[in-house]
Every structure is written in structure tokens, then in C-alpha cells.
Amino acid sequence: MTINFTTKTVLCFLVFLWIIFSVVYIANDIWSTYKNVQMAGAYEQGRVDTVNVLIQEAEKCEPVPVSSGEKEILLMNLGCLELEE
């Protein structure tokens, strides 16, 4: 049994493969863009939440400990300090 591939059959097969490749590539590109947008939004929301909590704590007029790794500092709201005139 021999298989006879005609030029039209081979061309149709190649076009079919190209379409499948294109659809997968475009879907992957859309998914990557969606993930990047979601991650950027989550990062921005985390930044906003962190600053808001820091402001709330500083409004209590007590030192606020802030640390990163082994480094730690105390932040203080300057509006709470009494200035002598």
C-alpha cells in the first residue's frame, strides 16, 4: 500500500499546521498579557495597602517599627511632635 501525497494535500496540511500554530501563539500572547496586567494590579494594590496601614499606625503618635530583612527602623509622625516656640 502506497500513500500518494499530492501537492494540494501537502499544502492543505501545511496551512492547517500554520493555523494551529498561529492560534496557539496568539492565545499564549493574550494569556501572558493578562497575567502581567493582573500582577501589576496586585503589586499596586499591595503598595497602596501598605502605605495606608503605615499612615494609620503613624496617626497614633507612637513610633512605628518598619523592617526589611535584618534592617529595622522606627518611624514617627512629625506632626505629633511638640515644637517649642
What pLDDT was estimated at residue 54?
92
- Secondary structure of the chain in the HEC alphabet? CCCCCCHHHHHHHHHHHHHHHHHHHHHHHHHHHHHHHHHHHHHHHHHHHHHHHHHHHHCCCCCEEEEECCEEEEECCHHHCCCCC
* Dist CA 52 CA 31 (whole Å): 32
Q: What is the pLDDT of residues 3-52, one digit of tens each?
A: 677 888 999 999 999 999 999 999 999 999 999 999 999 999 999 999 99
Q: Which three cell numbers stand for residue 42?
A: 496586585
Q: What is the pLDDT of residues 46-59, one digit of tens each?
A: 999 999 999 999 99
Segment 46-74 shows an average pLDDT of: 93
What pLDDT was estimated at residue 46?
96
